[in-house]
Each structure stands twice: as structure tokens, then as C-alpha cells.
A and B are shown apart, each in its own frame.
Chain A
Amino acid sequence: MKNFLSIGNKKFKSRLFMGTSRYPNHQVMLESLNAGRTEVVTVAIRRITLKKYNENIIDILKKKYFILPNTAGCYTIKEAVLTAELAREALKTNFVKLEVIGNDEDLLPDVENLITAAKELVKKKFNVLPYCNDDPIVCKKLEDVGCSAVMPLAAPIGSGMGIQNQQNIKVIVEESNVPVIVDAGVGTASDVAIAMELGCDGVLLNTSVAEAQNPKLMAKAMADAIVAGRNAFLAGRIPKRSFAKNSTTNKGRIHLIKKN
């Protein structure tokens, strides 16, 4: 049984990747990451504010977690590539969660530019984990240009709607030779369990935990759902039938004689 999630030269026991944004405060974030039993946390790369104290979260996070920088907010290939290069310099990692967004209304990936940016970053020796549409063809193209994983969305970022196209995710899993990590749009634990039952290798989430009424408890629920869904996938579910099938045999049941 394959117990580890391997991406590039890294092996992870936990299949839950967690974002670090939108928590009520620092303490709740750290407790939630802990409750989520995650190993990989994402961070953004942003300009420091001149003439002002800049919060430094990395020193705390990097003691315990593998830091995955993202290129959130990048609209062009140039911005995304430079952000990834700055992230590599800042964090000494070749890993990047590549985001190239089409617009700030729906935050959907601009797949044309995403594929080109991914190709460029692979050439520059990055392990590219692209946030992409739940489109099997796009995922295949991203794999073909050398991405280390593909990260199709469940639903738009922060929407909490869960997996909108299970069939597509299933096809992506079946056709992919690199890990498939569902990224974005998860709302609650059952969404995570479904992703894992479909055979995904992991789930990346943020808002669903950070903005839950009890983030720490939701993080635990997500971690439990990862395990439950993964085990269900490995166990192999029964096929769906459109008719009933008794689970208890009729043999030997009592049989009363009807009186008139």
C-alpha cells in the first residue's frame, strides 16, 4: 500500500495541504494547522511595506512545516515567473504553487498562460504545482510540460461549493501520471472525503477552515476526512446499483402459515 504522497523528491505522510490566510489570528492559525495534521502549508509572496514593521510568519512556520509558496494574484506569465523566482530566493525551495489568474472576479485560472508559465518554470528547475481548471486535457498538458503534480479546482477559490464536476476529477485521476491534488472550493469535510474517494492524492484548502466558526475543529474534521476518504478509495467501494440487494440471506427465516 502506498502510504506516502511523493512530489518531486519530497515524501509527505499527510495528504492535507493548508493555506495560512484568513484566520482570525496567529494563534488560531497555528492551532488549526496542528489540528489538521498537515505537513505542507502555503504562503504568498508580497512586497514589504516600506517604513513599517513587516510581520514575519515564516520563521515559526518553517520549524514545523514544508513551505509551499504560491504566485497568488499573478495575472501574467512574467509576474508569475518572477514571483516564483523571488519565492525561491526567499525560501530556498524549488517548489511553487503556480497560479495565473484570468481576472479578479471569479479567480479562475488562465490556462493558456498557466501552461506557458509552467513550461518556463520547469525549464528553470522548479517543481511546479499548478492550480488549474478541472479539465482533463489541461491537466494532461500540464503534466506533459513537466509539472510535478496537478491541482484542479473543486470550485472557485473561497466559494466552499465542493467538487462541482466529479466526473472530470475522476477522469483526471485515471489519466494522470503525477499526483492530483484538489485545490480550492472545498467547503466542508465531506467535500474532502469525496475528493479522496475519487482517488485524488491530496487536498489543498484554506478558507473552509480559516473562516469556519471553529477553525481548529474544522481542521481536525478535514484531516479525518482525508484519512476516511483515502481508506475508502483503497478499500474499493461496491458498484452503485439501481435496485436493492438483500444483505441477509432469506434461507432459514421463519415462515408463518397464513390462517384464513
Chain B
Amino acid sequence: MKKKLIINGENTFVLSETLSKVLNEIKIIKSQNMAVAVNEEVVEKNNWESYKIKSGDIIEIVQPLKGG
């Protein structure tokens, strides 16, 4: 069954079980400079493989951009 997540503010429906697989499913090209938080907690890259995603999770995926 599809899970409803909010990813970067957008309603998103996914089948995957883990954070790493969710990122693949929504076609994010993973990079070292990226960072992810689930429900306002940072999930370190080492834990993406094992981190279980559940319906209702709020995910933020960010990267550094030009800034002052």
C-alpha cells in the first residue's frame, strides 16, 4: 500500500519502506552534500538504508546553495 508523505512541502505517495529507497523512488540523485531530516530530526547518511519510513512522515531534503 502506498504511504502518504510530505516531502519538501509536497504531498508525495511512495511504496518504498526505507528512506534510501524512498529517495530512489522519487528519483533523487544522492550526493554527499545532501542532508535529510524526517519529522524535524536529521537522519545521517549512514542510516538512510535502515531508516524505516511510515505514512505521515514529513521529510526535508536539502543541499547547500548560493547564499550570503
Contact = CB atoms under 8 A, between A and B. Distances in A.
Do the two shown chains form a genuine complex with each other?
A: yes
Contact of B44 (A50, A83, A89): A89
Interface of B: 7-10, 12, 26-28, 31, 33-37, 40, 42, 44-45, 60-68
A20 interface: yes
A44 B65 contact: yes
Contacts of A207: 68
Main secondary structure of the interface of A (DSSP, over half): mixed
A27 to B, nearest CB: 13
**CB-based closest 7 A-B pairs:** A44-B67, A19-B68, A206-B68, A90-B35, A89-B35, A86-B35, A43-B64
A71 to B, nearest CB: 10
**Contact count band on A:** 35 or more
Contact of A51 (B27, B37, B67): B27
A89 B47 CA distance: 12
Contacts of B61: 47-48
A67 B9 CA distance: 27
Interface in A87-108: 87-91
A167 to B, nearest CB: 26
Contacts, number: 105
Interface of A: 19-23, 29, 42-48, 50-51, 54-59, 67, 69-70, 72, 78, 82-83, 85-91, 157, 206-207
Contacts of A54: 63
A87 to B, nearest CB: 7
11 contacts: A20-B68, A42-B68, A44-B64, A45-B63, A47-B61, A48-B61, A58-B33, A78-B40, A82-B60, A85-B37, A89-B36
A47 B60 contact: yes
B33 A91 contact: yes
Nearest to B12: A50
B10 A50 contact: yes
B26 A85 contact: no
A67 B68 contact: no
A59 B9 CA distance: 27
Contacts of B65: 43-46, 55, 57
Nearest to A206: B68
Given A46-B62, A90-B63, 4 more contacts: A20-B67, A90-B33, A90-B34, A157-B68
A46 B35 contact: no
